[in-house]
Structure 1
Amino acid sequence: MSLNKSELVSAIAEKSGLKKADAENALNAFQEVLVESLANGEAVKVTGLLSVERVERAARTGRNPRTGEEIQIPAGFGVKISAGSLLKKAVTK
């Protein structure tokens, strides 16, 4: 089972006492800040919950799964998400 965005907005609104529209605006703002920060190379840390950072990936040699041919994969960036202590506790209960 998982929450989609509208279910998450409803849950946030219920827990916070905000109107759904305000909760959705807050969630959208969080998303924008997260994306902009990562694009600028800044990590985002919410103590106890999670940390998100942009990581560099080196160029490497891969293999085409269909043909077995070697291919060169260029250097690039990825996203690393680490769970904080609250998330880790929640999944061990």
Structure 2
Amino acid sequence: MAISKTELADHVADAMKISKTDARGCVNAVIDAFCDALQAGQDVRVQGFGTLKVVQRNARLGRNPSTKEPVPIDACNTVQFKVSQRLKELLPNVK
């Protein structure tokens, strides 16, 4: 089960006792700040939750699962998430 941005905003509205419109604005502002930092090449560290950072993935040779033919996969940037130690302790099955 996933939590949507709307559900997250509803939770923020309830927890902070603010309007859902204001909560949606807060959630969007946080997401925008994360995106801006990642685009600028900065890591995003949320204490007690984890770290987001952009990493370079090397070019590699993949395989088409239906035909088993080799397929070249270009190098690209991707976002990596590393779970904080505190969150690992709360979720014992997370490595």
Scaled by the length of structure 2, what TM-score is found?
Answer: 0.83
Structure 2: distance between partners of 1:86 and 1:39 = 27
Deviation at 1:50, TM superposition (A): 1.4
Structure 1: distance between partners of 2:88 and 2:77 = 26
Task: Please say if residues 9 and 20 of structure 2, whose CA atoms lie closer than 8 Å, have aligned partners that are also in contact.
Answer: yes
Do structure 1's residue 24 and structure 2's residue 24 form an aligned pair?
yes
What root-mean-square deviation, in Å, do the aligned CA atoms of Structure 1 and Structure 2 show? 1.6
Please give the secondary structure, in 2, of the residue aligned with 1:79: strand
Aligned residues: 92
Q: How does 1:13-92 map to 2 (within 5 A)?
A: 13-92=13-92
Identity of aligned residues (%): 33
Deviation at 1:40, TM superposition (A): 2.2
Scaled by the length of structure 1, what TM-score is found?
Answer: 0.85
Cα pair distance change 1:76/1:2, threshold 3 Å: closer
Please give the secondary structure, in 2, of the residue aligned with 1:62: strand
Structure 2: distance between partners of 1:29 and 1:51 = 18
The Cα offsets for residues 12-61 of structure 1, whole Å up to 9 and x where unpaired, read as 11111222111110100111111122122211001111110011100111
Task: Please say if residues 5 and 27 of structure 2, whose CA atoms lie closer than 8 Å, have aligned partners that are also in contact.
Answer: no
Q: Which runs of 4+ in 1 moved over 3 A?
A: none
Structure 2: distance between partners of 1:14 and 1:76 = 40
Structure 2: distance between partners of 1:63 and 1:51 = 31
Please give the secondary structure, in 1, of the residue aligned with 2:72: strand
